[in-house]
């Protein structure tokens, strides 16, 4: 059947860096995107959709960099509207890839045609054909050209089939059926997919792209596979617009755990890398994972009740349908002490899904040994937190030289900071309703006059990285600039990690400030959504 996919496999098309990154506030820097792409390559997905190059120069550069640097047989895809300018930018960005994959789309439902595109069905069909042919001519016969009919599940099925037939004739090798607004129900979606497979399945791979507005994205995706779809579009942690996309880990583990429901079918995903991928994406985007999230939630393999614990001890099969090891949760927790060597650390990191060497290994080693001095036990979670912290590093134009705070019950707190801002040393002090508030106010006063804005804090979270009273605190903040407002405002996250939570809070605030400033001056090659382009994203 599916000509572009080896028989017996479902192609895993990961769109964490495109649709996932469109989740409001999930913006990543180009360096962070590259870090995620490397992890996706280790996870062995088949296709990485790296972004939407026409959205902004930052998006273009991020896609091109991922295309250039991703090796090992993973295809790199870029999205483009069927509109003059978009496909050309996408082609330019991905043509350096080992395996380029062009993804063009246009909406086909009457609602979208009438109210968004203001086009007739005939015009949309003509544009679809035109840009698929353009891609085929520019990229040649061997490159994957994918066409998506946006809002397919609310499109008149006869028109939808007409569009898919036409684009395959024009050269599309994959046709994607997006349930853009998460409206479909599994049986009905499976039937629609079956009709598309019957029409074009001999000449093209049929793909699905399901959103989770009714909580059915995974169910719809699996129904589609049973109906003959051989590419699934998914994101790590189900990240994505609104309620998100079908979750990679759920779809992949369902295929693996229920072989009788998906006879002779599997994915090439290295499932032991799932936990590392999930943690990295959560960390970099600042989207925490709910504890009861399937596969990757903190409680996914925890057994609380006595009856369950007793059963699992006697035989894990009583209450576990897959092993924690199969998704990369290592059984051991105690990992490193003051006397551990670099090699031991490297091996442990590899076990946790991270290949670290050279300078990065040295730096993590130094931090881990310092941590082993500060707390009794350095656990897997501590090590993962150190690795993730490095992945999010940004060039610092604002650095902290010193801080102090006084705080007592019932009164206001006073905070003082000294920072350097673009080489200039500045100090400020102020009061606040707590120590963090006072210190953040002092930072604002110190940097505001130089930068012309101060950060506006839109979220602040703190969690302990591991158990115990000496645990490291990890602080997540999300900020925008005071000079921006509205839905398209650039929003970034920042993390801090320390056994001192005030220090972790300051560190997180400074990371966010440096990301905002870096995006402004171009030192952080932002893959961030520029406000104007944000409105245009699919």
Q: Which residues bind ligand KIV (CB under 6 A)?
A: 19, 79, 105, 148, 150, 176, 178, 180, 209, 211, 538
Task: Pick the closer one to Zn ion by CB: 46 or 444.
Answer: 46
Shortest spacing between CB 150 and Zn ion, in angstroms: 8
Q: Does 14 bind Zn ion (CB under 5 A)?
A: no
105: tokens are 């789309």
Shortest spacing between CB 213 and ligand KIV, in angstroms: 11
Contact of 278 with 329, CB cutoff 8 Å: no
Shortest spacing between CB 176 and ligand KIV, in angstroms: 6
Among ligand KIV, Zn ion, none, what binds residue 148 when CB lies within 5 to 8 Å by partner kind?
A: ligand KIV
Of residues 381, 366, 364, 377, the one with CA closest to residue 276? 381
Beta strands in 197-261 (DSSP E): 205-210, 231-234
Among ligand KIV, Zn ion, none, what binds residue 150 when CB lies within 5 to 8 Å by partner kind?
A: ligand KIV
Task: Pick the closer one to ligand KIV by CB: 212 or 273.
Answer: 212
Among Zn ion, ligand KIV, none, what binds residue 472 when CB lies within 5 to 8 Å by partner kind?
A: none
**Helix pair 342-351, 380-391: axis angle to 10 deg:** 90
Contact of 146 with 177, CB cutoff 8 Å: no
Q: Using CA atoms, how far apart are residues 382 and 377, in angstroms rounded to an integer?
A: 9
Beta strands in 115-181 (DSSP E): 144-150, 174-179
Shortest spacing between CB 151 and ligand KIV, in angstroms: 7
Task: Pick the closer one to ligand KIV by CB: 19 or 388.
Answer: 19
Provide the mask over 17-36, with x wherever binding to Zn ion is found by CB under 5 A and - wherever it is not. Answer: --x-----------------
Give me the residues paired with residue 81 across strands.
105
- Applying CB under 5 A, the span of 15-23, 184-192, 300-308, 492-500 interacting with Zn ion comes to 15-23
Task: Pick the closer one to Zn ion by CB: 24 or 395.
Answer: 24
Shortest spacing between CB 149 and ligand KIV, in angstroms: 8
Of residues 164, 220, 160, the one with CA closest to residue 189? 220
309: tokens are 């614990």
Shortest spacing between CB 342 and ligand KIV, in angstroms: 43
Task: Pick the closer one to ligand KIV by CB: 68 or 121.
Answer: 121
Shortest spacing between CB 225 and Zn ion, in angstroms: 18
Task: Pick the closer one to ligand KIV by CB: 153 or 413.
Answer: 153
Q: Is 265 exposed, middle or buried (0-12, 13-18, 19+ CB in 10 A)?
A: middle
With the CA atoms of 312, 316, 320 and 323 taken in that order, what torsion angle do they form, in degrees rounded to the nearest 10? Answer: 130
Among ligand KIV, Zn ion, none, what binds residue 247 when CB lies within 5 to 8 Å by partner kind?
A: none
With the CA atoms of 519, 523, 524 and 529 taken in that order, what torsion angle do they form, in degrees rounded to the nearest 10? Answer: 40
Q: Using CA atoms, how far apart are residues 80 and 102, in angstroms rounded to an integer?
A: 8
Task: Pick the closer one to Zn ion by CB: 234 or 491.
Answer: 234
Provide CB contacts within 8 A for 172, sequence distance 6+.
Answer: 132, 145, 146, 147, 204
Residues that bind Zn ion (CB under 5 A): 19
């Amino acid at each position: 059947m599916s000509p572009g996919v080896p028989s017996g496999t479902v192609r895993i098309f990961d769109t964490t860096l495109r649709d996932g990154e469109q989740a409001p506030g999930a913006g990543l820097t180009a360096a962070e995107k590259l870090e995620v792409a490397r992890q996706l390559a280790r996870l062995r997905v088949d296709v990485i959709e790296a972004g939407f190059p026409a959205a902004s120069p930052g998006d273009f550069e991020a896609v091109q960099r991922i295309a250039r640097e991703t090796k090992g047989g993973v295809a790199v895809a870029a999205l483009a509207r069927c509109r003059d300018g978009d496909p050309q930018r996408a082609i330019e960005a991905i043509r350096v890839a080992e395996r380029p994959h062009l993804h063009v789309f246009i909406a086909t439902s009457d609602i979208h045609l009438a109210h968004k595109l203001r086009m007739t069905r005939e015009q949309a069909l003509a544009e679809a054909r035109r840009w698929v042919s353009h891609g085929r001519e520019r990229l040649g016969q061997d490159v994957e050209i994918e066409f998506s009919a946006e809002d397919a599940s609310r499109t008149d099925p006869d028109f939808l089939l007409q569009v898919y037939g036409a684009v395959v004739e024009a050269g599309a090798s994959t046709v994607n059926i997006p349930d853009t607004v998460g409206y479909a129900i599994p049986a009905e979606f499976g039937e629609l997919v079956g009709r598309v497979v019957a029409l074009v399945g001999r000449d093209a791979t049929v793909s699905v792209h399901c959103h989770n507005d009714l909580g059915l994205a995974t169910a719809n995706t699996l129904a589609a596979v049973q109906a003959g779809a051989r590419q699934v579009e998914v994101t790590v942690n189900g990240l994505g617009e609104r309620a998100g996309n079908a979750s990679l880990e759920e779809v992949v583990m369902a295929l693996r755990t229920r072989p009788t429901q998906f006879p002779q079918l599997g994915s090439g995903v290295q499932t032991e890398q799932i936990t590392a991928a999930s943690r990295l994406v959560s960390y970099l985007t600042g989207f925490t994972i709910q504890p009861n999230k399937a596969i990757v939630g903190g409680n996914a393999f925890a057994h609380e009740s006595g009856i369950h614990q007793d059963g699992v001890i006697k035989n894990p099969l009583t209450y576990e349908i897959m092993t924690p090891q199969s998704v990369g949760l290592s059984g051991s927790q105690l990992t490193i002490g003051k006397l551990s060597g670099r090699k031991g650390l490297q091996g442990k990191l590899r076990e946790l899904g991270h290949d670290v060497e050279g300078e990065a290994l040295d730096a993590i080693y130094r931090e881990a040994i310092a941590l082993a001095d500060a707390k009794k036990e350095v656990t897997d979670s501590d090590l993962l937190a150190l690795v993730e912290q490095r992945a999010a590093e940004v060039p610092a134009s604002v650095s902290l030289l010193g801080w102090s705070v006084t705080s007592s019950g019932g009164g206001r707190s006073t905070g003082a900071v000294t920072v350097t801002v673009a080489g200039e040393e500045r100090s400020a002090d102020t009061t606040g309703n707590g120590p963090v508030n006072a210190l953040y106010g002092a930072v604002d006063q110190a940097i505001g006059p130089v930068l012309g804005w101060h950060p506006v804090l839109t979220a602040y979270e703190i969690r302990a990285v591991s158990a115990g009273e000496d645990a490291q605190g990890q602080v997540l903040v999300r900020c925008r600039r005071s000079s921006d407002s509205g839905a398209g405002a650039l929003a970034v996250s920042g993390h801090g990690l320390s056994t001192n939570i005030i220090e972790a809070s300051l560190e997180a605030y400074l990371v966010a400030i440096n990301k905002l400033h870096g995006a402004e001056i171009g030192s952080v090659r932002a893959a961030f959504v520029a406000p104007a382009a944000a409105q245009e994203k699919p």
